[in-house]
Chain A
Amino acid sequence: MPLEVKNVEYTYSPNTPNASVALKGVDLTIDEGEFVGIIGHTGSGKSTLVQLLCGLMEPSEGQILIDGVDINNKETPKDIRKKLRLQVGMVFQYPEHQLFEETVLKDICFGPKNLGFNEEEAKKLAKDAMKKVGLPLKYAEESPFDLSGGQKRRVAIAGVLAMKPKYLILDEPTAGLDPQGREEILAQVQQMQKELGITIILVSHSMDDVARFADRIIVMNKGEKYLEGTPREIFAHDEELISLGLGIPQVTQILKRLQKEGWAVRTDIVELDAAKEEILKAWRARKGGNNHA
């Protein structure tokens, strides 16, 4: 069953002089098993949107449906709404906000325990999750507050992976991770999507990351859904994206520059390997042409 956002509006501090509309008229459907990327300028409403999806806040207008049920409808029994919400795992934008236990292991165990797993089972899930995020087990008994920025982020991600959610939302999960960590975590998440059928929603400022991993991209602008489509479709709108404070993947930039220099290359390519082939093909053609001349 999909995750649906129906005509949602969200206003912070409504009915006060500080009222600020963060989302308006947002409609979306995220299908089960999909890997969706959300991009948008800072302040465009991405974090607000995903906090509504996980039931942390209620929309001012409109509905959020998980498996067809409105998670904010008070007429639906409370335990059913809670159960639905527990299917949605969320890695927040700032991992410090999520950490609170005395040790890394306890912190990661918190979610699974909340789901009803016993101490032993929770520990096992937690240790598996630590491996998945590349966090050595020697950190298990450390205080999460004594870790480096990137290590804290790995703890926060592990805490959510350990719950094996059906829908996994990651709000800027790779910010602050070293290149290898970034790669590993995104690959891990993609594997969960491919092998376990988990639905992934990735909020990111990295055009390269969403281009590589997402099946579909949603572009937010000033609280509204501006565009949606496959990475190739979206990144064809290069000038528009730049005017929205966004950009295009680096390999796409390179192809566009070459095209401007008169190279016969396609510019709707977003992956490195495909770009390599495209450039070599054009290079051979140019070289061949020169030889005949």
Chain B
Amino acid sequence: MIQLENLTHTYSSEQGKNVAVDNISLEIHKGEHLAILGQNGCGKSTLAKHLNALLLPTAGRVIVEGMDTKDESKLWQIRQTVGMVFQNPDNQLVATTVEEDCAFGVENLGLEPKLIRQRVDEALATVGMSEFKEKAPHLLSGGQKQRVAIAGIIAMRPQYIVFDEPTAMLDPHGRSEVIQTMQKLNKEENITIINITHFMEEAVLADRVVVMDKGKIAFMGTPKEVFRQVERLKALHLDVPVVTELAQAIGAETGIDGDILTIEELVVSLCR
């Protein structure tokens, strides 16, 4: 479990203070798939960076599997427990080949070389980048880089993975691969997934959706509970999935439910 206890983060600069995360308390349960939504600048990335001690609270606490992120002696263990995939892959790739890059984190885990190799191969296959093994990361296109970054984290087999807009730069195929990977890691490996996204269609796949606004949690619930609140979401610069919008537009006449979240659900309702 990851516990946020009255987590606050204030950035200080010459312009003054900016409370980016404002007194948030939240428990992230092991094995769950959590989505975090919220408008630009509402504090999602700032919150995310607290989950593996990239940032420390300016007030309150973050406890990862019983370890306080302020405890420096636990830093290594915390980073191994919670992996992070960022918005921009350029800042994440460091080595001279894709394969080395993917191995970078795993090598520090003290595993046998054979096992390292196996994990790297599997991770690259999972994201569909095996054939690029020998290529230099800086020669890849944006979407390709992002897949390598994800492979690097997957190879470390952390208990939690925080994805900060991992699919923002991917083509539809790459996006669905990453989403499927995320689901697979969650369902089959029981890895806890925390997905920060601006795609409502991705949030639908989560067990629980947290909606943030101005550094606070505005509301949360299951995808059905959250996406029923169209007006509230729109007021927070968010939206509902296209399917939901369509279902609501034809709901009055056809009598189908307004809380439809997937194409399958819509088709089934209409054909009933």
CA distance A49 to B136 in the complex (A): 21
Tell me the minimal C-beta distance from B127 to chain A in angstroms. 12
A175–B169 touching, CB < 8 Å: yes
Q: Does B67 contact A (CB under 8 A)?
A: no
Q: Does B170 contact A (CB under 8 A)?
A: yes
Q: Quick one: which of B142-183 are within 8 Å of A by CB?
A: 142-144, 165, 168-175
Q: Does B218 contact A (CB under 8 A)?
A: no
* Chain A window 263-293, contacts with chain B (Cβ cutoff 8 Å), 1 for yes, 0 for no: 1000000001001100110010000000000
Give every chain A residue within 8 A of B39 (Cβ-Cβ).
Answer: 150, 178, 180-181
Interface size on B, residues (CB 8 A): 48
Instruction: Please tell me which one of the listed residues B90, B238, B242 contacts residue A180 in the complex, with CB atoms under 8 A apart.
Output: B238
CA distance A182 to B246 in the complex (A): 19
Q: Does A213 contact B (CB under 8 A)?
A: no
Q: Does A193 contact B (CB under 8 A)?
A: no
Q: Tell whether A179 pairs with B242 under 8 Å between CB atoms, given A41-B173, A143-B13.
A: no
Tell me the minimal C-beta distance from B89 to chain A in angstroms. 9
Q: Does A230 contact B (CB under 8 A)?
A: no
CA distance A96 to B90 in the complex (A): 10
Interface size on A, residues (CB 8 A): 52
Give every chain B residue within 8 A of A20 (Cβ-Cβ).
Answer: 139
B136–A43 touching, CB < 8 Å: no
Q: Does A77 contact B (CB under 8 A)?
A: no
Q: Tell whether A254 pairs with B266 under 8 Å between CB atoms, given A146-B11, A176-B198.
A: yes
Give every chain B residue within 8 A of A257 (Cβ-Cβ).
Answer: 263, 267
Instruction: Please tell me which one of the listed residues A154, A178, A182 contacts residue B38 in the complex, with CB atoms under 8 A apart.
Output: A178
CA distance A179 to B39 in the complex (A): 8
B198–A283 touching, CB < 8 Å: no
Q: Does B271 contact A (CB under 8 A)?
A: yes
Give every chain B residue within 8 A of A182 (Cβ-Cβ).
Answer: 198
Q: Does A247 contact B (CB under 8 A)?
A: yes
Instruction: Please tell me which one of the listed residues B15, B40, B139, B254 contacts residue A177 in the complex, with CB atoms under 8 A apart.
Output: B40
Instruction: Please tell me which one of the listed residues B15, B40, B88, B267 contacts residue A154 in the complex, with CB atoms under 8 A apart.
Output: B40
Q: Does A52 contact B (CB under 8 A)?
A: no
* Chain B window 236-253, contacts with chain A (Cβ cutoff 8 Å), 1 for yes, 0 for no: 011101110110011001
CA distance A251 to B173 in the complex (A): 18
* Chain B window 251-268, contacts with chain A (Cβ cutoff 8 Å), 1 for yes, 0 for no: 001100000000100110
B174–A245 touching, CB < 8 Å: yes
CA distance A14 to B15 in the complex (A): 48
Q: Does A32 contact B (CB under 8 A)?
A: no
A-B contact pairs, 27 of them (CB 8 A): A41-B171, A41-B174, A42-B144, A44-B141, A47-B141, A47-B142, A93-B169, A94-B142, A96-B90, A142-B13, A149-B45, A150-B40, A175-B169, A177-B40, A178-B38, A178-B40, A179-B238, A181-B237, A205-B169, A205-B171, A247-B173, A250-B242, A250-B263, A257-B267, A261-B267, A272-B245, A283-B253
Q: Which 9 A-B pairs have the closest CB atoms?
A: A42-B143, A150-B40, A245-B173, A180-B237, A247-B172, A179-B239, A43-B141, A250-B242, A175-B168
